[in-house]
Amino acid sequence: MKTYYWLILCIMTAACSKEKPASNILKSDFGVLADGSKADLYTLTNAAGMEVKITNYGGTITSWTAPDRNGKYENITLGYETVEDYVAGSPYFGAIIGRYGNRIAGGKFTLADSTWQLPLNDGPNSLHGGEKGFDKVLWEATPVDGEEPQLKLTYLSKDGEQGYPGNLNVTVTYTLQKDNALKIDYEATTDKETVVNLTNHAYFNLAGRKAGPITDHVLTLHADRYLPVSETLIPTGERRAVAGTVFDFTKAKRIGEGIGASDEQIRFGKGYDHCWVFTDSGTTLKPVARVSDPKSGREMEVLTTEPAIQFYSGNFMTGEYKGKGGLSYPYRTGFCLETQHYPDSPNQPSFPSTSLKPGEIYKTTTVYRFL
Ligand code: GLA
């Protein structure tokens, strides 16, 4: 009998000591939407110590930690603690933007001889997919555990949703890589010709999300041309050389240096809110931007397959909305580097095309890597 008990004890101890590998992606509750549906939050971690939190509401990155020069990890993206806060007061913080990121003039375009009218939600134009873009919908989430954890998000944007033609099946996959990089893969297919321009709208402050204005950050953009805009921020069609202007970031420069210049384009954007275009408009993954914060020593590189990047210096931020945890984000306390196709491409034939036809696969990749 004694031997029998001893045997059972041995088996139980062995079973318990057999360590379960720690998961690199965990799910928790993120709150409830007005229609009663629940939002989830996924926490992705890597061995280096980086942690990225993403909710399936808008596919939004709510928090992201990165190391300073002493290895101290701190949250470097602007965001909130509950889904209710996002619904109540977020200017696209960390969200997936679609079906068409950036502006479409008059919210109107013609495809295959039909004209489509989108909701106007930015003066006379349509911005970031309309009144209820991809940033305001619940995505289907599939977590994939591993050394480089992934969150795969899918969404079916129905034919006619926000005025766009075609059922669009979208997949966005976030991968937290070992080398402290977050890779975002975008994919889409349609059953009717449509336009697509997907991006992520993370607001960064490399000194920490509550560290104040981002004007001392130092930025490099590997682009020698940008798109000048009209007063309502629609590209004029010109690809203007940055040389000799405040738009020249080909060499590392403080964001604050030219942000207050008496330049018509700066006046229209109320600061930087423009699209820089790359010489290589192909689909290879290439480094396009680098930004550092001299105080903390944090530095980030952006790589993309996209032909352009919108650099927005937080000019419309007011700090008016205070989230549940008292989180508010005043004027210019975050900046965005939104990789994308050019704004208003559906109306500008000289720009790289954003149309997607049945049978084609829309595919782009962007990587934000901390150095
Ligand atoms: C983009 C636009 C800006 C502004 C922000 C959100 O970056 O280009 O003009 O609308 O989104 O506030």
Domain borders along the chain are 25-370
pLDDT score for 81? 93
Residue 321 is encoded by which pair of tokens? 């909305």
* Distance of CA 21 from the midpoint of ligand 1 (Å): 42
pLDDT score for 155? 98
Which residue's CA is the nearest one to ligand 1's atom 6? 91
pLDDT score for 4? 55
Out of 74, 161, 299, 338, the active site residue is 338
Cα distance between residue 318 and residue 69, in whole Å: 30
For the Cβ of 310 lying below 6 angstroms from any atom of ligand 1, the answer is yes
Q: Which ligand 1 atom sits nearest the alpha carbon of residue 343?
A: 8
pLDDT score for 1? 46
For the Cβ of 313 lying below 6 angstroms from any atom of ligand 1, the answer is no
Q: Which ligand 1 atom sits nearest the alpha carbon of residue 233?
A: 9
Whether 338 is a known active-site residue: answer: yes
* Distance of CA 276 from the midpoint of ligand 1 (Å): 15
Cα distance between residue 164 and residue 94, in whole Å: 23
pLDDT score for 20? 59
Q: Which ligand 1 atom sits nearest the alpha carbon of residue 316?
A: 12
Element (H, E) at 1: none
For the domain made up of 25-370, the CATH class stated in words is mainly beta
Whether 201 is a known active-site residue: answer: yes
Query: How many CB atoms are located within 10 Å of the residue 236 CB?
Result: 12
Residues in the chain with pLDDT values less than 70? 1-21
**CA torsion angle for 139, 358, 277, 314 (degrees, to 10)?**
-20
Q: DSSP string covering 71-140, please?
A: S-EEE-B---SSHHHHHHH-SSTT-EE-SB-SEEGGGEEEETTEEEE----BTTBEETTSTT-GGGSBPE
Per-residue pLDDT tens for 267-316? Answer: 999 999 999 999 987 789 999 999 999 999 999 999 999 999 999 999 99
Which residue's CA is the nearest one to ligand 1's atom 7? 312
Which residue's CA is the nearest one to ligand 1's atom 12? 91
